[in-house]
Amino acid sequence: MKLIHRFTGVCLASGLALTLASCGGGGSALSSMMATLSGVAIDAPIPGAQITITSGAPLNDPGAQTIGTITANGTGQFSISINLPSTSTPIFANAADPINTAVVLSSYLGSSSVLATKGTLTTSNLPDLDITPVTTAALAVYAQVNGSSYGALTPAAYATTLQQYNGDILAIAAAIKAVGDNLCTPAISVSSTTNLAALIAAQSSLTSSNSTTLQTAATTLGGNCPAVMASLPQQIAADPHFGPELDMGDVIDAGVLSVPAGTYALQGIIAETGMTPTQTTTTATPNPLAMFSDAAVTIASNGQITSTDNNISGTVVGNLVTLTLTNGTQQYTLRGKVGAVQTALVSGGQAYAIQSGGTNNASNLLTNFNAVLITTGETPVWNGIAAPTTATSNDGITCASGAFPVRLDAFGSAIGGGSVGECVTPSATGWAMASSGTSGADFNFDDNASASSTMSPPSLSAPNWTAASSSTPFILSSAGASFTRNGVTTSGTTYYVMGTRSVVFASTQGNSLLRMHDTVFAQLAEAGHSSDGGNGATNGGTGSMEGQDH
C-alpha cells in the first residue's frame, strides 16, 4: 500500500488524461484560478483509486469542502482540473483504495491562494507532495495538538509539526502501513486509516513530555501487530517516497535552489536496512555501513548535480534532492530533503545537510543516506551553539548545566523499539554523551510479544564522539557503543552527520536508526520561497528555524 500522489503541473490547455468524476464545487465565491494536477496512485498500481481534493480540512473531517474528484485509471494514473479559491484556506489531496476500503490517506498541499497564484504548476515550483502514511500521520498529529482545527495550518506550521513530533509521526505511519499492507492481523476493526491515525494521536499524550506513541500504536492494533511495529518506522524513514516527507516539510519553491550553484565536497554515511520496500524482513544480507566522501561535487544553476569521478549524479528542485550514488561496486538511487545547517556550527562558509532514503539498485534493500555538502575551507564547530547555563529539560529529558537534552527514538530489528534520553556536551571537535537518567518508558515495548510498560528501560552508551575519519570531520562516530534493551546488550558503533535528524547504530546484526526529536543540532533552514511557503529563515541564516523546543 504505497498510495502515492505525485503532482506534475501541466497547463489547462494540455487537456485531461482522464474523465473527471466531478470538478469544482466548494471553494470560495471570490476569484479563483483553474489548475490541472496530474498524478498516480500505486501499490503496485492501485486501479480505480478514488482521488478527492478538499479545501478547509482533509476528507471526512469537519469543514472539508470537496473541490474536485476523479477516479484513477487501471494503472493508477489520473489528471484533474480544479478551481482553487483565492483565499488562504488550506488545500488537501485525499486518496481511497476501492478494494481495501480501510485505506484512506490525506496530504496537505498548501494555502489555496499561494497554489492559485502559481498558474502552471511544474516540477520546478511544486514541492514533494505524495499522499502516504507519513502525510496522513502528520495531519493527525497536527490536528491533535491544534484542537482538531486546520484553520491556522501553513507550510511553516506543518514543518514545525514534523520537527517537534517526528518520532510520533513515524510511529503512527507504521500503524497505518501495517494495516494498509496487511502486514499483521489487528485485534480491532479499522474503519479507516485516517480514523486510526486520529485515535492513536489522541491516546498518545503528544502534548506531554512523555508521549507513548509507538506503544500506543501497538496496543491499539493488538493482535500480532506489535511484532512488526519495531522495524516499520526504520523502513518508512528509508523509503524514497515516505522518507523525504519526514523532513522540513512541503513548500512551494518558485524555482529557488536550496543549495546555490557551485562546487562542494560531500561527506556521508550509507546504511542499508536489510529490508525492501515491501518486506519488513529479508533473507538478503545488507552491506555493512559505509563512509562516503567525494571531494568534487558540482551543482549547476539549473539544479543538476554531477561529480568529476562520476560517482554522483542527480538534481535538486527547491529542497527536494534526488541522487544516484556509486560506492565501489554498489549503486544507490536516493531521494531526500536538503537544508542549510545553522551557521554557528560551521566556520568558513555554509554547509547543507541531506537526509535521504532509497534502494541499493542490485539488492533492492532500503538504504539511509545522510550527508553534508561543504565548500573548500569549511570546518565544523560542534560547540558553536552556546550550551545551556542552567539545568535544562526538553521532551521529558533533563540535563545539568552545560549539556543539551536529546531524546532518541530507537527503531530497528537489532535494537527494537524504545526511547532513550541523552545529555550531549559539545566541544569544538565532537560530543561527550551521557545518559540523562530520565530515559525509558516513552514507548518501550516487546515487539516479539505484546506491548509492555513493565520492560526495563532501554539505554545507549556512546560516550565520546569524534570525527569518523580525518577526511570526514563533519561526521561524528563513537566506537565501542552499546544499546541495552530488556537486559540484552548489543555492541556497535554510532554515527551522526551534522545537521541530520538520525543517529545510525551499526552492529554485526545490521544498521538501526535512532531518530532525534526536536533539537538544536538538527534545525535546518530552507532557501527563500513564497510568502507562506516555509519557515521564513533565509538561506545560511540562523533566524527562524523550523521547530523550537516544546
What is the distance between the alpha carbons of residues 41 and 121, in angstroms, rounded to a whole number? 19
| pLDDT tier, 463 (very low <50, low <70, confident <90, very high otherwise) | very high
Bridge partner residues of 294 (DSSP): 266
Structure confidence at residue 19 (pLDDT)? 29
Phi/psi of residue 167, nearest 5 degrees: -65, -35
| Separation between Cα atoms, residue 490 and residue 483, nearest integer Å | 5
pLDDT in tens, 473-506: 999 999 999 998 777 899 999 999 999 989 999 9
Task: Write down the residue that cell numbers 466531478 correspond to.
Answer: 22
User: Range with the lowest mean pLDDT among 108-117, 135-144, 176-185, 375-384?
Assistant: 108-117
pLDDT, tens digit (0-9, with 9 covering 90-100), for 414-459:
777 777 889 999 999 999 999 886 644 444 554 444 444 455 667 8
Q: Is the pLDDT of residue 150 over 50?
A: yes
Answer for the pair 384, 459: CB distance below 8 angstroms, yes or no. Answer: no
Query: Residue 533 above 50 pLDDT?
Result: no
524 confidence band (pLDDT: 50, 70, 90): confident
Q: Tell me which range, 52-66, 116-130, 159-173, is most confidently predicted by mean pLDDT.
A: 52-66
What is the pLDDT at residue 550?
Answer: 28
* pLDDT greater at residue 321 or residue 537: 321
* Arithmetic mean of pLDDT, 75-90: 79
Whole-number pLDDT of residue 493: 97
d(CA 309, CA 328): 12
User: The domain 262-380: what is its CATH number?
Assistant: 2.40.128
Produce one character per residue of 411-449: b if its CB has 16 or more CB atoms within 10 Å, e if not: bbbbbbbbbbbbbbbbeeebbbbebbebbbbbbbbbbee
Q: Give yes or no for residue 520 having a pLDDT over 80.
A: yes
In whole angstroms, give the CA distance from residue 332 to residue 325.
Answer: 5
Q: Which residue has the higher pLDDT, 517 or 382?
A: 382
CA distance linking residue 138 with residue 122, whole number of Å = 25
Higher pLDDT, residue 438 or 55: 55
CA-closest candidate to residue 336, choices 226, 244, 428 = 244
pLDDT for the residue numbered 1: 47
- Return the beta strands (E) in 288-351 as ranges: 290-299, 304-307, 312-317, 320-327, 330-340, 346-347
pTM of the model: 0.85
- Domain residue ranges in the chain: 1-131, 262-380, 392-522
The stretch 144-152 carries a mean pLDDT of 94
Residue 254 reports pLDDT greater than 60? no
Residue of higher predicted confidence among 18 and 406: 406
pLDDT at res. 37: 64
What pLDDT is stored for residue 40 in this prediction? 59
Mean pLDDT of all residues belonging to the chain? 80
- 523 burial class (0-12, 13-18, 19+ CB within 10 angstroms)? buried
pLDDT score, position 442: 47
The whole-number pLDDT of residue 308 equals: 97
- What is the pLDDT, as a whole number, of residue 42? 55
Q: Which residue has the higher pLDDT, 317 or 24?
A: 317
Which pLDDT belongs to residue 249? 67
Task: Give the SS3 label for residue 58.
Answer: coil
**Percentage with pLDDT > 70 across the chain:** 77
For residues 380-404, give the mean pLDDT.
91
Instruction: Give residue 7's pLDDT.
Output: 38
Residue 543 confidence (pLDDT) = 29
Closest by CA to 275, choosing from 153, 363, 201, 202, is 363
Query: Is it true that 1-131 and 262-380 share their CATH fold?
Result: no
| pLDDT at 252 > cutoff 80 | no
CATH number for the region 1-131 comes to 2.60.40.10
The arithmetic mean of pLDDT across residues 180-201, rounded, is 93
pLDDT winner (highest mean) among 77-86, 118-127, 246-255: 77-86
